[in-house]
Amino acid sequence: MLEQEENFMIPNVFKEVIDLGDGREISIETGKLAKQAHGSVVVQSGETMLLCTVVSNYDAADVDFLPLTVDYREKFAAAGRYPGGFFKREARPSTEEILVMRIVDRVLRPLFPKDYHAETQVMIQLMSLDKEVMPDALAGLAASAAIQLSDIPFETPISEVRVGRINGEFIINPSLSQLDQSDIDMVIGASEDSVMMVEGEMSEISEEEMVEAIKVAHEAIKVQIEAQKRLVAQVGAKETRAYEPEAEDESVLKKVKAFAYDKCYEIAKSASSKSDRGLAFSELKDALKAEYTEEELEEVGGLVSKYFSKIQKEAVRNLVLEEGIRLDGRKTTEVRPIWCEVDYLPSTHGSSIFTRGETQALATVTLGTSREANMIDNPSLEGEERFYLHYNFPPFSTGEARPLRGTSRREIGHGNLAQRALKRMVPADCPYTVRIVSEVLESNGSSSMATVCAGTMAMMDAGVQMKKPVSGIAMGLISDGERYAVLSDILGDEDHLGDMDFKVTGTEDGITACQMDIKIKGLSYEILVNALQQAKEGRMHILGKLTETIAAPNTDVKAHAPKMVTAKLPNDLIGAFIGPGGKVIQELQKETGTTIVINEDPVTGEGIVEILGTDQSGIDAVLAKIDSLTFKPEVGSVYEMKVTKILDFGAVVEYVEAPGNDTLIHISELAWERTNNVTDVVNVGDTIDVKYLGFDPKTKREKVSRKAILPKPEGWQPRPPRENNNNRGRDNRGRDNRGRDNRSRDDRRPRDDNKED
């Protein structure tokens, strides 16, 4: 009995290893952890370990979609750290965690059966962290492997990898330090035969280079998929569970198509606005339902609505493929009308409006010091962002009233895409922390790309010296397997009914960011290249509209915006500049109306002083204070000095060009003639020129002289030096007699204490 219990306690572990080809490996293991989940794996590379579990209810939820939740969390214990803040527990997901959830969800969701509606949860946890292995590149592999080990219906295994490029050489799953040197940072998700998702940022690469990076990533993904298959074979594949499919009725489908197809085709061809088109489709749907009795609608009403949407989609797609006409009447390569404006908001540091068709974004820019940097404090990533972008998508932008529940995952994802599109065009020496906020005021097709365009103009309006302006465009693809049409500047409806949604941003010289969701299998790279080339033409058209509005960054910030100046301060002077308890710097900020921030240069240890203020005279006053602290006079140079104090033996004088730096000019250095009183030559408030003679080893002070720059009086003779003898002008009395006679202590007359005064 004891032997049986011991055997039961020993887990039967299955493991597969993926060789990355450069000494690194990824292992996939199952059988040890979370065995009550429907599928669970531990994926490990280096010391980074992810635990992924998947569970799906056996009963369908009462909804007409897949209620899938992909959750990714990083445990601080994985990095040997405590959560920051007062509440020492992981709470809501960070922005970075949400972005990982999105890239995994976008690949998984299309591969579940369309009629599978059971509540499904994929949970991925970072359990151990290796600083050289980025865990987000392993999340897609972990999710797919866990699903493959379950009985959940799923079309095909997938994986995701990150690809970078250093000195022209592609690297799969580069480390964080390697990414700093890379001109590409892309995450690609794919099945064995199809690329399904691409997202990333680049340093102005060409369309051909982007496709090459995708190909390299896809080959690595195929290797990881083979490893998943071997692992399933080791464990033993589970039979896919049975589930209740959606009801179908061929007779209802035929009736709906006969009634609605031609009418949908004509509405789609009418080149109407979004609201008019929506109203026309809604009225047609009502007319279709009127063909059925109330009893029939109770029985097949759901199917009627479902088939109507299907027929509507089919009609719109066929219109594009057959006649090259789109819902709003445009040609496939045509971009909607654009109008732009900058400097719209009078109080912001920079602002712009970008309107393209029925999509509108209002962007603002705020300039600040390093104190306003966005702090990142995650187990896998720590640091700060001196440039960041926030994207808001209120319900009124689509003419709807929806509950307001905080920032959505979609808003975080779209904002991150726009931020990545712009950030490499912000120069490294930009002294400001730059925050862009995009308010989407209207939306009918790619508000994220409108955000990129509005953000570009707002930064140039604010005087941020961008390297180059950036524009962005959202593209679509419709294909029936034989024919295809690439659509420039897609509408919201075209996004929904198309086979690919891809967004591309860039300058005139190359791509800076992209996001693609590909919904069809086996998309050829030839079609992808053609689509990217058409996107480039659209980007250039939009870029021309931006530069017509504002051709280059303003040479300076606005009058009401803060000016930023940086200065360096030796490490040993930082304390003097700050003062005890911060007294000096606080008083200086109050007097000058500036904000002063001091950071330490990590390399040299120098103090980097940031001075932010709207009044140039205040900034100049702070710079003068720094100059006075760092002022070092040169031997032999003449300086203008102001008398601040009179002493018996000289005057205290202050360097006019370095207030606060003072020294003593000795009375003997005021003039060639003998000076009896200091005030015979100078008085408090006088300004005089003096020569700096350097450090005087006798007085151990800096020595300055007025007489050194004056002409010698005629006949002036230097005072003769004193005789250099031991008695110094006295008689030969020794130290012990000191002018007294040579009587010994015993010969001295005793003191008469009673002697009268």
Residue 191 is which amino acid? S
Strand partners, 651: 646, 665
495 a known binding residue? yes
Coil vs helix vs strand at 303: helix
Helix %, strand %, coil % of the chain (to 5): 35, 30, 40
Q: Which long-range contacts (CB under 8 A, 24 or more apart) does 351-354 make?
A: 351/458, 351/461, 352/454, 352/455, 352/457, 352/458, 352/461, 352/549, 352/550, 353/454, 354/450, 354/453, 354/454, 354/457, 354/546
747 a known binding residue? no
Residue 595 is which amino acid? T
Distances (CA, A) of 704 to 461, 680, 701, 721: 51, 18, 10, 22
Q: Which long-range contacts (CB under 8 A, 24 or more apart) does 299-304 make?
A: 300/249, 300/252, 302/64, 302/247, 303/247, 303/248, 303/249, 303/252, 303/253, 304/252, 304/256
β 387-392/433-442 pair status: parallel
Would you give the DSSP letter of residue 422?
H
Compute the C-alpha angle 294/297/298, nearest 5°: 90
Report the distance separating Cα 352 and Cα 345, nearest Å. Answer: 8
Determine the number of helices (DSSP H) and then strands (DSSP E) in the chain.
15, 29
Strand partners, 582: none
Residue 103's nearest CA partner among 76, 124, 118 is 124
In the β-sheet with 701-705, what is the strand arrangement from edge to edge? 662-666, 650-655, 638-647, 687-696, 701-705
Distances (CA, A) of 628 to 565, 631, 703: 17, 5, 18
Report the distance separating Cα 212 and Cα 184, nearest Å. Answer: 12
The annotated binding site is made up of 495, 501
The annotated binding site for Mg(2+) is made up of 495, 501
